[in-house]
Amino acid sequence: MMQHLIVLPVVLPLLTGLFLLRSLRGRTRLKRVLGVTSTGLLTLVAVALLMRAADGEIAYYALGGWQPPFGIVLVLDRLSALMVLLTAVLALGCVIFACGGDDEKGSNFHGLFQLQLMGINGAFLTGDLFNLFVFFEVLLLASYALLLHGGGKSRIQAAVHYVVLNLAGSALFLIAVGTLYGATGTLNMADMAVRLGQLPAERAGLVTAGALMLLVVFGLKSAILPLYFWLPRAYAAAPAPVAALFAIMTKVGIYAILRVYSLVFGEQAGDLAGLEQPWVWWLSLATLAIATAGVLAARDLRLLIAYLVLVSVGTLLAGVGMGSVEATASLLYYLLHTTLVTGGLFLLAEMIGLQRGKAGTRIVKGKPLTQGGLLALLFLAGAVAVAGLPPLSGAIGKALLLNAATPDQQPWLWPLLLASGLAAMIALSRAGSTFFWRSQSGERHGERLPRHHWAGVGLLLATSPLLVALAGPVSDYTRATADQLARPDAVVDALLHDAGDAP
């Protein structure tokens, strides 16, 4: 059984999703049990994979027994194991929250949710570019339907923009993959890395074009400037558990940049090595600046949190653009923190909106909330964490990134990163004071919230103090992950020279 663990993060949600879509129409309680159970099992599998990868072993699973570079392979290393675990924990909080009633607002929520998990996990584990495209399409198809869950004019408008842009991105992705295949003769990323070291000079321009097209695609997925315009409205319009799960979607694009450009376009690529860094560095700083302005301008809590996701994108891509092992280790710690906390804040915004009635999540005065005290405490914890204030994990993540900047990078990164934290403090303070202090006239409004909502939000926001308590081991793991990413030859040896564990 242990040898098949690598494929389980793809197969388990696939089978569960298909079963839920075909066999359980109208049986809400059973759907919830299966959805939560499957996601819980996925979390346990992810923990086992992380423990397996922690010692530096690189393992791969060759589907159908076709060995690389010819067959489809799923690759397990420290980075892919970390991302699968992060997805599972976030998904567990989201699906528990959805069982409080959000899953009944439309059809097939749990089945589509599992299929999206399949696509996300497959993107993190795949070892070749074409299957990265395939898993991107799987997760996007599921996300199209989930974004429309429950209907409504704002969701339909946001979905149209989201679908059109991502279809264009998918077409460009396919062109880029075809270009790289035509120039190198392979789609396996490890094999492509080897062939780029022996690339004839006349094909360098073709490979450069393919690499830059890929960067545009991954930039669209991660929502970097100027390709971020779809994100704020789509995330603000999505149902709460869907928006929370979407917190990992931008990280898929960031992961793809880390994986492809460290492995395929690493030092062995000669003149093509590091061709993404200047683009990523300057565009990430511009993204951070624009997102900071968006945070201050937002007049709705959902939109405010969506811009905070965009701030995290700029911060993480700045770490990628710095191009050092220290920066990569720092951004991985910050990635864990920001994904889980922003996911929890999307869920919390839904709870606040439910208790405010017609005022919803708009940052305007309303009636006092029935459970305002507990909601205020959770909001305070989430605000402190996402703004990067001590003693929660956001402060550690930002401090690590600031410390990783070189003297040449500090004048650019430090003011923007600190200003984004200040903007988050101002915007969240304004929202919190409006919701919990200024809204004190009239009778208390709103029904008591279901236990599933409290459990889902509590699970995600509790990860921030947990990351502080485990800061040492987590930082050691992210540092080891960054070291492994900086040595692409280890992946090449594991996949092509029989140095890896191949079930």
Q: Give the DSSP H or E segment for 76.
A: strand 73-76
Residue 466, domain member (yes or no): yes
CA distance 168 to 170: 5
Q: How confident is the model at residue 442 (pLDDT cuts 50, 70, 90)?
A: low
pLDDT of residue 24: 62
In this predicted model, which residue has the larger pLDDT, 432 or 270? Answer: 432
Cα 29 to Cα 100, 110, 432, 447: the distances in Å are 11, 11, 35, 22
Residue 198, domain member (yes or no): no
* Nearest Cα residue to 159 out of 237, 107, 222: 237
Residue 397, domain member (yes or no): yes
Residue 128: strand, helix, or coil = strand
* Nearest Cα residue to 291 out of 313, 318, 319: 313
Q: Give the DSSP H or E segment for 5.
A: none
Residue 366: strand, helix, or coil = coil
Q: What's the rounded mean pLDDT across residues 276-291? A: 93
The answer on pLDDT for 446 being more than 70 is no
Residue 356, domain member (yes or no): yes
* Nearest Cα residue to 70 out of 190, 155, 169, 176: 190
pLDDT of residue 155: 85
Per-residue pLDDT tens over the stretch 35-52: 999 999 999 999 999 999
- pTM reported for the whole predicted model: 0.94
Cα 269 to Cα 50, 128, 177, 265, 487: the distances in Å are 30, 17, 17, 5, 13
Beta strand pairing status for 73-76 and 59-62?
antiparallel
Residue 288, domain member (yes or no): yes
pLDDT of residue 122: 96
pLDDT of residue 423: 96
Per-residue pLDDT tens over the stretch 188-245: 999 999 898 888 888 888 999 999 999 999 999 999 988 888 889 899 999 999 999 9
The answer on pLDDT for 500 being more than 70 is no
How many CB atoms within 10 Å of residue 250? 25
pLDDT of residue 503: 45
**Tokens for 332?**
């991985």
Residue 148, domain member (yes or no): no
In this predicted model, which residue has the larger pLDDT, 480 or 197? Answer: 480
Per-residue pLDDT tens over the stretch 334-380: 999 999 999 999 999 999 998 888 888 899 888 788 888 899 999 99
The answer on pLDDT for 26 being more than 80 is no
CA distance 26 to 47: 33
CA distance 267 to 489: 10
Partner residues linked to 420 by β-bridges: none
Cα 231 to Cα 94, 117, 121, 161, 162: the distances in Å are 19, 20, 21, 10, 8
Helices 249-263 and 78-98 cross at an angle (nearest 10°) of 170
pLDDT of residue 461: 96
Helices 78-98 and 471-485 cross at an angle (nearest 10°) of 130
CA distance 79 to 72: 19
The answer on pLDDT for 427 being more than 90 is yes
Cα-Cα-Cα-Cα dihedral sign, residues 59, 61, 65, 68: negative
The answer on pLDDT for 304 being more than 70 is yes
* Nearest Cα residue to 460 out of 41, 43, 35: 43
Q: How confident is the model at residue 491 (pLDDT cuts 50, 70, 90)?
A: confident
Q: What is the residue whose two structure tokens read 């624009």?
A: 290
Residue 168, domain member (yes or no): no
The answer on pLDDT for 385 being more than 90 is yes
Domain that holds residue 369: 276-485
Average per-residue pLDDT for the chain? 90
Number of separate domains in the chain: 1
pLDDT of residue 1: 52
Q: How confident is the model at residue 2 (pLDDT cuts 50, 70, 90)?
A: low
pLDDT of residue 396: 95
Q: Per-residue DSSP letters for 230-287?
A: HHHHHHHHS-HHHHHHGGGHHHHHHHHHHHHHHHTTSGGGGGGTTTTHHHHHHHHHHH
Residue 323, domain member (yes or no): yes
Cα(first)–Cα(last) distance of the chain, in Å?
10
Per-residue pLDDT tens over the stretch 144-185: 999 988 777 878 888 888 889 999 999 999 999 999 999 998
pLDDT of residue 67: 83
pLDDT of residue 499: 45
Per-residue pLDDT tens over the stretch 78-111: 999 999 999 999 999 999 999 998 888 878 899 9
